[in-house]
């Protein structure tokens, strides 16, 4: 009878020791994997930042090109307005001359 409770206690102690050993292995594995997870997350965030920077640089280049196009179009518009004003003033001047010639013809008649 003594041997049976002794055997049960012995088995219980072995069970406790082995379970603690497994827990320690899991803890060590978790601690070992934590830095690699942190490193991976750090690498991912670095890549994301690099991609964001590339996108920003690309957008800045596009904005610069658009600004140059706007400036070019404004210059063209200004040039066209100048030409239009010259034509309008020439037409206006010619109209005034035609009117004056017509007045003179009317006065002569």
pLDDT at 4: 80
pLDDT (0 to 100) of residue 81: 82
- Rounded to the nearest 10 degrees, how much is the dihedral formed by the CA atoms of 38, 41, 47, 52? -120
What's the pTM? Answer: 0.45
Judged against a pLDDT cut of 80, whether residue 31 lies above it is answered with no
Q: How many of the other CB atoms lie within 10 Å of CB of 76?
A: 10
């Amino acid at each position: 009878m003594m041997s049976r409770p002794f055997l049960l206690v012995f088995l219980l102690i072995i069970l406790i020791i082995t379970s603690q050993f497994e827990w320690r292995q899991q803890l060590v594995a978790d601690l070992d994997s934590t830095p690699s997870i942190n490193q991976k997350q750090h690498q991912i965030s670095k890549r994301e930042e690099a991609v964001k920077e590339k996108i920003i640089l690309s957008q800045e280049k596009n904005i610069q090109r658009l600004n140059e196009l706007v400036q070019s179009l404004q210059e063209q518009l200004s040039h066209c307005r100048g030409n239009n004003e010259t034509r309008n003033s020439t037409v206006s001047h010619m109209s005034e001359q035609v009117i004056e010639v017509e007045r003179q013809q009317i006065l002569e008649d």
